[in-house]
Amino acid sequence: MTPQELSDFALELPDAVDDEAFGPGATVFKVEGKVFAILQDSSGERPAQVTLKCEPDLALHLREQYTAVEPGYHVNKRHWNTVVLNGTVPVEEVREMVEHSYDRVVSGLPKAARDRLRLLRAA
């Protein structure tokens, strides 16, 4: 998955917005003001990567399954994974990780916001 494909997919989720809260080179995706993805541009030898929220047991499983999935970069490593976008993780798997991250963040929102977003997603 390319960074542009990831960005396009993340912004298709209900009420998802992006900005450069951490400065140029890092696009932050939020829902209701809460971060669910941080996309970092490639730099020199390092390919682009995305940091995503993840249920802790699943995070460990994904790290074991894919060498391109690492503990979250500059975030709580128990609840976040960083996925190197080097083509070794299937596109559909990356999409599932993005949706899972979004869903984890939405589940922590107030009930009214959760209900509204779930209705938008079902539509």
Q: CA-CA distance, 114 to 92, in Å (whole number)?
A: 25
pTM over 0.85: yes
Is 71 buried (19+), middle (13-18) or exposed (0-12) by CB count in 10 A?
Answer: middle
User: 96 pLDDT band (50/70/90 cuts)?
Assistant: very high
pLDDT at residue 121 in the model: 84
**Interval 7-31: pLDDT, tens:** 999 999 999 999 988 878 899 999 9
Q: H/E element holding 106?
A: helix 91-107
Higher pLDDT, 9 or 42: 9
In the numeric block, which tokens belong to residue 90?
């299937």
Q: Quote the mean pLDDT of the chain.
A: 94
pLDDT at residue 38 in the model: 96
